[in-house]
């Protein structure tokens, strides 16, 4: 294939949520390619302290999805555009 | 316009577990601009047998085979956009990462790592989505 869609890295606007960079892990927070955005697995990181927000599962899910929304908004998308 | 769907056979049939172990999967399927790979375990490309070893050795074997499979369809590891890594114990997370980062030195793909129970005595399986 010569005419591939462009592939670019997505970073969260809030650097405290940039787990892969802060912990020097070998993945990107997200990859954008054409009309699609691929996000790495995310956990309940506190956007103020950057530490894991350990708590009841409901709280962890809420925090993770908030962080996911932040990632998508950082890429110019939104949680209503998720398909998987 | 309807996107097309095409099953991809690996250049080296020895690394095709769907034939070797008679499994109901395709090693890779192309859909539109993307190619979706099934999870790969460490297979010796010369014999087709399971290549059991350390987390580092199995990770290296899988990513080597994955690179070859992607290149056989005109893609490459540099065109991977998302990876799922399944490992038998999260205690080995860093042992997997140490080898993994050699294969994706710059702008690595998005990735999810899960600790799971794996079949066949393997320590790790890796799947990915790449630009075709």
SS3 labels along A2-59: CCCCCEEEECCCCHHHCHHHHCCCCCCCEEEECCEEEECCCCCECCCCCCECCCCHHH
> What pLDDT, on the 0 to 100 scale, is given for residue A39?
97
Please say if the pLDDT value at position A3 is more than 90. no
Question: In the predicted model, what is the mean pLDDT of residues A56-61?
Answer: 97
Contact A31 B83 (CB under 8 A): no
Contact B108 A5 (CB under 8 A): no
Angle at B48 between CA B46 and CA B51, to 5 degrees: 90
Range of the domain at A65: 7-76
In three-state secondary structure terms, B16 is coil
In a domain, A2, yes or no: no
Of B110, B113, B129, the CB nearest to A39: B110
> Which one has a higher pLDDT value, B73 or B89?
B89
**Which domains are seen in chain B, by residue range?**
5-131 (3.30.1330.40)
Work out the pLDDT band at B22, boundaries 50, 70, 90: confident
- Name the pTM for this structure: 0.92
In a domain, A81, yes or no: no
> What pLDDT, on the 0 to 100 scale, is given for residue B81?
98
In a domain, A49, yes or no: yes
For residue B83, list chain A residues with Cβ-Cβ distance below 8 A.
27
Domains held by chain A: number: 1
């Amino acid at each position: 294939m010569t005419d591939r869609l462009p592939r670019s890295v997505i970073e969260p606007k809030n650097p405290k949520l940039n787990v892969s960079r802060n912990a020097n892990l070998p993945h990107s927070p997200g990859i954008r390619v054409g009309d699609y955005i691929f996000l790495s697995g995310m956990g309940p990181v506190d956007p103020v302290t950057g530490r894991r927000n350990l708590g009841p599962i409901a709280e962890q899910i809420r925090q993770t999805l908030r962080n996911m929304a932040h990632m998508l908004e950082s890429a110019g998308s939104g949680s209503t555009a998720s398909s998987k | 316009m309807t996107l097309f769907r095409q099953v991809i056979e690996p250049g080296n049939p020895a690394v095709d577990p769907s034939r070797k172990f008679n499994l109901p999967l395709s090693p890779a399927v192309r859909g539109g601009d993307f190619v979706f790979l099934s999870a790969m375990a460490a297979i010796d490309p010369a014999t087709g047998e399971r290549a059991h070893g350390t987390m580092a050795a199995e990770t290296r074997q899988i990513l080597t085979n994955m690179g070859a499979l992607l290149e056989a369809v005109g893609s490459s590891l540099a065109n991977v956009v998302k990876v799922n890594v399944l490992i038998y114990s999260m205690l080995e997370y860093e042992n997997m990462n140490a080898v993994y980062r050699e294969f994706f030195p710059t702008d690595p793909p998005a990735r999810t790592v899960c600790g799971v129970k794996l079949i066949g005595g393997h320590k790790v399986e890796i799947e990915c989505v790449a630009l075709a």
